[in-house]
Amino acid sequence: MSSERSLASEILEILERVYRDRGAMDRVAALFDKRIELAESDSEKVRLLQEAASLWEHDLGQPARALQSLRDAFEVDPRDEAVLGDIERLAPLTGSWEVLRGLVEAIADRSELTRATRRDLHLRAAHWYRDHMQDAASAEARYRSVIELDAEAEDAHNELIELLRVPGRERDLVAALRAHAAVESDEFTKKERYREAARVAEASLNDEKLAVDALEKLLEIDGGDAEALDALIRLRESAGEFEDVVSLLERRIEVESSPDARLGLRRRMATVRGSKLNDVKGAVRALNEVLDESPTDAEAMASLEAIYEKEGDHEELVKILQKRLDLAEIPSQRISARLRLARLVEERFDNRSDAIEHLREVLAEEPTHTGAQDELERLFIAEARFDDLVELLSQRASDAAGRNDLADELAILFRLAELNEAKLNNKSGAIGVYERIVGREPHNRTALSALIRLYREQDDLVSVASTMERMLGAQRGAEAVATALSLAELAANELHDDARAEDAMRLALEIDPESSETRDRLKAHYESRSKFRELAEMLSTEIEAAGNPADKVSRYRRVAALYSEKLGDPNSAATTLEKAAQLAPDDREILLPLADLYIAAARQTDAVPVLERIIASFGGKRTKEVGQFHHRLAQALEGAGERERALAQYDAAFKLDLTNVAILRDLGKITHAMGDYDRAQKTFRALLLQKLDASSGISKSEVYFYLGDISHKQNDTPKAINMLERAIAEDKTNTRAAEFLRVLKG
């Protein structure tokens, strides 16, 4: 058998030389298959496969066939590093990394391979899958095979961890990190693997239990790792495991070197003990430890304050507040402590005096501190220290004025006024404050009302009136009317100031022109003070509002009567009565006085048609009454200069009433004036037969004068002298008769 192999080998060598000489390298390559079959050992096969690979690559330019030969060589002897080197060199040249898939897996379990060799081969294959075939799953499998063979394989752990850093593989990543940490000998790396495992478990998996377990593993390695302790504290706190949190905080405080950070941890300890575990003593102990390290720590003192207050430990509360006060470096800190002390000593120890002193100290540092002022004001009231309260309120009002806070200033002043009046019985002081309020806000009705009341209580009616006038500037509508009428009543009845009373009533009427009460009171005022023109004007303005014509006529007649009888103004009276006549054109009771008013106002021309209407209204009746209207018509015509027409009317009147003194008087005068002396003489002689009195409009002395004058004009001087002497005998004051008589006697 061996001779046959030897013969075959010789033949193959001869053929190889022939093929090479001819350049038939493909035939040379084909001979290698036979030669490999005839190889007597694995090492010889590997050598031949390597030679074949070189032929395919360098002589025939077929690197893929070369790679396949090398793969076959590797399968024969996986331990040959040279083969592996060539394989890894040719794979990228041929773009055929896939040729290597499964190569290592196929031979990895061979018994002749050591664990170290198998480990290295799996790691090499993992790189092929990861770097050249982008097959993460196959690479991961190889890494895991490496770790199975060598649990401490650093490269495999590191590369597997990096491979698992992709979304969705977080749980596997945590397991890989922990697996690496478990076998890692370097303490720093070991801790960082556990740290990262905890971070991923919490942040990506929301698995606090897994995170806690990793952190606890880390702390088994380094119990003073601050970062791990912080994370574990946070997780235990989130889970409500506050006993654990306290233990962890104690460990954390022990390893913290920064004083500020340590203080923060102690404060946190106090919070957990107090609010989570209801361990008041433990919380107090923790806060006192803060103060041991930092005696001026305001936050710790504030927390202790809150605990002592909640627990009702007022003695300790006073101590801590006093400590805060003693250590305070800036005004705001001292103020805060004193405010708390003031409230505490008052409420818990019933010591208002000390509370007041604390508050005074606050104001000494900050004079406008509102909270202290409010508290001090309350305490002064409670202690009936009203003089102190007056001083405080006065200062507060000034402060408010200084900052232009009118609302606050007024509110304080009102309290000050009430204090003066109600507690100090100082009405003058209260008045002064209310006047100050009105000075700042002139239309403040509350202050004005108080002033009116206080001035009246002091019987200062002039000030009451002036304050009511100021009040009117602040009121509207019915309120203003009521005040104005009250002012009018005060002015009229108590001050006897008619002008002020009238002004008040006029103002009330301006505010509410429809107020019947105001109108009635103002009219009564005018009438009682004989202010008839104002009364007439006011009544005139009301006429248009009268309900019916008859009412209007009545009102016009009243106004006309005022003008005529009270004011002696026949013209205004006539103008008013004309309006009544328009409403009742046939009413003699209107027409007759209208005619009289026309005549009295020297408006005879206007009187004539009125009198003619009156006479015509009698329808031709011939009575003494009609005679009176002829008489008035005659007077009007005479006044208008129409003597002839006047004489005719006098004659008509005389015929209807032969003994009427007024008619005889006027008839005698007009005939005398017109030169009809005979008729005038007869008329005056008839007048002497009548009874003449003061209402006759002519006296006997005057009648004798006219008769003397007529006799003189008739050239009968003796008779004229006789008539004039009679005139003087009747009335020695008749100077006209006396002068005429002196002239006649020469």
Percentage of the chain lying above the pLDDT 70 cut: 95
Look at residue 544 in the predicted model and tell me its pLDDT: 75
**pLDDT above 70 for 19:** no
Q: Identify the helix (H) or strand (E) that includes residue 346.
A: helix 331-347
Sign of CA dihedral 551, 556, 561, 563: positive
**pLDDT above 60 for 2:** no
- Report pLDDT digits (tens) over 42-72: 777 778 777 777 778 788 878 888 788 788 8
Mean local confidence (pLDDT), 601-616: 75
- Report pLDDT digits (tens) over 328-370: 678 877 787 787 777 877 777 777 888 888 878 888 888 888 8
Look at residue 138 in the predicted model and tell me its pLDDT: 93
Mean local confidence (pLDDT), 220-228: 92
Q: Identify the helix (H) or strand (E) that includes residue 198.
A: helix 187-203
**pLDDT above 90 for 107:** no
The residue type at 157: H
- Report pLDDT digits (tens) over 377-395: 898 888 889 888 889 889 9
- Report pLDDT digits (tens) over 430-478: 999 999 999 999 999 999 999 999 999 999 999 999 999 999 888 898 8
Judge residue 241's burial from the number of C-beta atoms within 10 Å of its C-beta, 0-12 exposed, 13-18 middle, 19 or more buried.
middle
Boundaries of every domain in the chain = 699-746
The three-point CA angle 308-312-317 to 5° equals: 40
Residues 6 or more apart whose Cβ sits within 8 Å of residue 646 = 634, 635, 636, 637, 638, 670
- Are 97 and 129 within 8 A, CB to CB? no
**pLDDT above 90 for 199:** yes
Please give the Cα distance from 274 to 268 (Å, whole number): 10
Closest by CA to 307, choosing from 285, 347, 274, 346, is 274
99-108, 244-253, 371-380, 595-604: least confidently modelled range? 595-604
- Are 485 and 521 within 8 A, CB to CB? yes
**Which string of DSSP letters, residue by residue, matches 558-623?**
HHHHIIIIIT--HHHHHHHHHHHHHH-TT-HHHHHHHHHHHHHTT-HHHHHHHHHHHHHTTTT---
Q: Pick the residue with more confidence: 416 or 576? A: 416
**Which string of DSSP letters, residue by residue, matches 388-417?**
HHHHHHHHHHHHHHHTT-HHHHHHHHHHHH
Please give the Cα distance from 129 to 403 (Å, whole number): 82
Biggest alpha carbon–alpha carbon distance for the chain: 226
Q: Which two tokens stand for residue 389?
A: 């309260």
3-state SS of 30-98? HHHHHHHHHCCCHHHHHHHHHHHHHHHHHHCCCHHHHHHHHHHHHHHCCCCHHHHHHHHHHHHHHCCHH
Please give the Cα distance from 230 to 227 (Å, whole number): 5
- Are 565 and 594 within 8 A, CB to CB? no
Look at residue 113 in the predicted model and tell me its pLDDT: 85
Look at residue 6 in the predicted model and tell me its pLDDT: 62
Q: Extract long-range pairs of 457-466: CB within 8 Å, 24+ residues apart.
A: 457/427, 458/427, 458/428, 458/431, 461/490, 461/494, 461/495, 462/495, 464/490, 465/490, 465/491, 465/495, 465/497, 465/500
Mean local confidence (pLDDT), 101-129: 86
**pLDDT above 70 for 18:** no
Rounded to the nearest integer, the mean pLDDT of the chain is: 85
Look at residue 313 in the predicted model and tell me its pLDDT: 67
3-state SS of 633-686? HHHHHHHCCCHHHHHHHHHHHHHHCCCCHHHHHHHHHHHHHCCCHHHHHHHHHH
Look at residue 521 in the predicted model and tell me its pLDDT: 86
Mean local confidence (pLDDT), 533-539: 82
Residues 6 or more apart whose Cβ sits within 8 Å of residue 319 = none
**pLDDT above 70 for 10:** no
Residue for token pair 């971070």: 199
Look at residue 639 in the predicted model and tell me its pLDDT: 82
- Report pLDDT digits (tens) over 120-157: 889 998 999 999 999 999 999 999 999 999 999 999 99
Look at residue 1 in the predicted model and tell me its pLDDT: 45
Look at residue 228 in the predicted model and tell me its pLDDT: 93
Please give the Cα distance from 437 to 417 (Å, whole number): 9
Look at residue 4 in the predicted model and tell me its pLDDT: 58
Q: What is the pTM of this model?
A: 0.49
- Are 484 and 507 within 8 A, CB to CB? yes
Look at residue 22 in the predicted model and tell me its pLDDT: 72
- Report pLDDT digits (tens) over 686-717: 898 888 888 888 989 899 999 999 999 999 99
Look at residue 693 in the predicted model and tell me its pLDDT: 87
277-286, 505-514, 516-525, 583-592: least confidently modelled range? 583-592
- Are 638 and 673 within 8 A, CB to CB? no
- Are 70 and 58 within 8 A, CB to CB? no
Look at residue 7 in the predicted model and tell me its pLDDT: 63
- Are 342 and 375 within 8 A, CB to CB? yes
**Range among 324-333, 569-578, 678-687 rated most confident:** 678-687
**pLDDT above 50 for 545:** yes
